[in-house]
């Protein structure tokens, strides 16, 4: 599992990359082992880690725009979108730098 930013992770699987949000909850303890596991919300399934990051940032942007049922002005919405675009660019550039 890859920690991307804040509570967002990418789970690397054989056929895809799953973007997930850590809900900071634990599952009920297993009856045999007594272990509790972290609970995640699946954001989406992607074919590449780049696409998973883009999907994750779009999800974050949507959540910010949706907010707590707050009405945003057009200027506020544009600022949120610009910040999200900057965030995805920075994350992807960071990935590309680490590949080289």
pLDDT for 48-78, tens place per residue?
A: 988 998 898 889 888 888 866 678 788 888 8
- 41 pLDDT more than 60: yes
DSSP 37: -
pLDDT classification of 11: cutoffs 50, 70, 90: very high
Instruction: Locate the domains of the chain by residue range.
Output: 2-99
Q: How far lies 70's CA from each of 13, 19, 57, 60, 87, in Å? A: 37, 26, 20, 16, 22
pTM of this structure: 0.71
CB-CB contact of 41 with 20 (8 Å): yes
pLDDT in tens, 20-31: 999 888 777 777
CB-CB contact of 84 with 57 (8 Å): yes
- Crossing angle for the helix pair 74-99 and 49-66, to the nearest 10 degrees: 160
């Amino acid at each position: 599992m890859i920690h991307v930013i804040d509570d967002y992770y990418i789970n690397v699987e054989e056929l895809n990359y799953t973007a997930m949000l850590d809900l900071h909850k634990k599952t009920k303890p297993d009856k045999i082992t007594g272990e509790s596991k972290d609970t995640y919300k699946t954001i989406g399934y992607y074919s590449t880690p780049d696409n998973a990051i883009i999907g994750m940032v779009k999800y974050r942007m949507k959540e910010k725009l949706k907010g707590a049922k707050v009405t945003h002005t057009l200027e506020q919405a544009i600022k949120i979108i610009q910040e999200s675009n900057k965030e995805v660019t920075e994350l992807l550039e960071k990935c590309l730098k680490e590949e080289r």
